[in-house]
Chains A and B, each alone.
Chain A
Amino acid sequence: MPINTTVLLRWAVVMMLGAATGCSSGLAPWQRGYLAEPGMRLDGEGAAARLERQYYFSREAARGGQGFGGTGCGCN
């Protein structure tokens, strides 16, 4: 099935090229203060995010993309 994701694919190419080249941001340690803030983290899914994802899983047809793995419930 063809994937109609032109915008997403362009973004993906940019991301992948940047990551594939192992590009470093070139930031010195003292320049990473903002990145260390809690609000800037891209951590794995916490409990609150998982609960929210489970609610949407039980009310909508979509799955995957962000969270990982099933919810283990028979709610969808």
Chain B
Amino acid sequence: MLAKTSPVAASEPWEVEAASLIFTEFEKVSGTEVVLSGRTPLSPDAGLTLGAVIDVLIGASPNGATPGNAPQTFTTPSGFDSYTISPGDEPLDDTFQDNRLEVSAVWDRRFSRGVDATAGARWSMEFDYLSFGADTRWNFAGATRDTSWTGAAAVSQDRVHPVGGIPIERASMQPEDTPQPRNNAARTKKVFDLLFGVTQVLGARSVAQLNYSQTYSDGYHSDPYKLLSVVDADTGATLDYVYEARPGTRNVHGFFTRLKHRFDAGVLDIGARYTEDDWGTVSRTIDVRWRKSHADTTYWEPHLRWYSQSAADFYRFSLTDEEPLRGDLSADRRLAEFDALTLGVEWGKNRVDGSAFSASIEYYEQFGDESPDGAVGVQRDLDLFAETRAILVQLSNTFSW
């Protein structure tokens, strides 16, 4: 018996989207990330999108310790090797590399005019991290579609099994080829996401969006590869390195609003985001784009993004030997107080058949406190926040196949 095929699927092409991001951070990590997805209609009202993501990262990653005025030697996560950092340099683990593969499937369905939904699943694998997630999104639009409401939920189960095992929190790093402080081979984390949003046509030239989101995670949040320097309270000389300890839960609230207005000369796109969590981190983001289109369907779009975050309550750039070693502690610079600026430009072409191509280049830089209060002794002469500076290049192409 011949398998029945949908008359829709047999005649409709796949809608394919391919995108890549290539970035390089000065003296740190470089990476290439590729996304490929394709949607095929299952019926006039439903479709299936299959996707894959490949990430390849190499380079030198900050290990959390602060620079010192003497050479510093660190044991690699395996415990069988070590690397040495020169005086004054930011401690970077140059054995860092990470490859990730993700596959996903999303089913979409239009139930009636103005009501559509999706349901999807995702599986992601790295050599030291696994994640499985599922999500659903529902969209309700008014009769004229000037107003639409969105509700979405997602859940994921993550498992981290780092090289060498899970380090004991706040335990001291040991020299290479000696027993390392480990108490588990792996730990897990569950993540729950909710999002509610509304989009509204404000007029013939304006449209706006408002989202509220909440993310709650429960489980292992520490970075098993990150250290915290313990220094002499008078001289600032490094005495020890201990593994970080983060809270077992995290609750994040996010507000996002966006406005697009069509001027005669182009489209102004302004987005603003505010987030806060129970780790004490508050962030504000302003994202501005200006799209200038041309008669040949090409466009240029300059981009500016300003980001600002406060430090997590348990963030410390280092500890002194007179402070208690207890509670939650982390020297991960990503939890520090800093601002970040992105400047870039995108060129694109929207073809008459509905396909599109775009290319962009952006510069990203973080600005933190290089001489924070609490720096002691030799630390006052060192740069305690080595900014991340990066060039990002993106390519994107959507087409039918």
Report if A19-B388 is in contact (Cβ < 8 Å); known contacts: A25-B144, A62-B275.
no
Asked whether, in the complex, the Cβ of B135 is within 8 Å of the Cβ of A68, the reply is yes
* Main secondary structure on B side of the interface with A: strand
**Contact between B275 and A47, CB atoms less than 8 A apart:** no
Known contacts A70-B156, A72-B124, A72-B156; A64 and B215 CB within 8 A of each other: yes
Whether, in the assembled complex, B72 has its beta carbon less than 8 Å from a beta carbon of chain A, the answer is no
| Contact across chains for B307 and A60 when beta carbons are under 8 A apart | yes
Q: In the complex the two chains form, what is the Cα distance from A38 to B208 in whole Å?
A: 15
Given contacts A62-B275, A72-B100, 6 further A-B pairs with CB under 8 A are A1-B276, A19-B198, A23-B200, A31-B204, A37-B262, A65-B256
Query: Contact mask A65-76 → B, CB, 8 Å, 1/0?
Result: 110111111111
Number of residue pairs spanning A and B whose beta carbons lie under 8 angstroms apart: 217
- Given A46-B396, A60-B334: A34 in contact with B262 (beta carbons within 8 A): yes
Write out, one digit per residue, whether chain A residues 48-71 have a CB within 8 A of any chain B CB (1) or not (0): 101110111001111111101111
User: When the two chains form the complex, which single residue of A15, A31, A64, A72 contacts B257, counting CB atoms closer than 8 Å?
Assistant: A15
- Chain A: interface residue count, which band? 35 or more
If A61-B312, A76-B334 touch, does A38 touch B350 (CB 8 Å cutoff)?
yes
- Asked whether B321 is an interface residue with its Cβ less than 8 Å from the other chain, the reply is no
Option from B20, B35, B272 in Cβ contact (under 8 Å) with A8: B272
Inter-subunit contact A12/B335 (CB<8 Å): no
Tell me the bound Cα distance from A44 to B150 in angstroms. 11
Tell yes or no: B33 within 8 A of A by CB. Answer: yes
Nearest-Cβ distance from residue A59 to partner chain B, whole angstroms: 6
- The interface residues of chain B lying within 8 Å CB-to-CB of A35 are 201, 204-205, 207, 262
Residues 212-230 of B at the A interface (beta carbon under 8 Å)? 213-215
Q: Out of B144, B200, B358, which one reaches A15, CB within 8 Å?
A: B200
Q: Which residues of A contact B274 (CB under 8 A)?
A: 5, 8, 65
Residue B255 CB within 8 A of the other chain: yes
Question: Which of B21, B204, B273, B334 meets A34, CB within 8 Å?
Answer: B204
* A residues neighboring B (CB under 8 Å): 1, 3-5, 8, 11-12, 15-16, 18-19, 22-25, 27, 31-32, 34-35, 37-40, 42, 44, 46-48, 50-52, 54-56, 59-66, 68-76
A49 to chain B, nearest CB (A): 9
The residue in A8, A27, A42, A72 that gathers the most chain B C-beta atoms within 10 A of its C-beta is: A72
Taking a contact as CB atoms under 8 Å apart, the answer to whether B100 and A59 are in contact is no
Query: Residues of A contacting B199 with CB < 8 Å?
Result: 42
Is B146 interfacial (CB-CB < 8 Å)? Answer: yes
The answer to whether A54 touches B33 (Cβ under 8 A) is yes
Are A40 and B267 interface neighbours, CB within 8 A?
Answer: yes
Bound together, the chains give a CA A3 to CA B212 distance in angstroms of 13
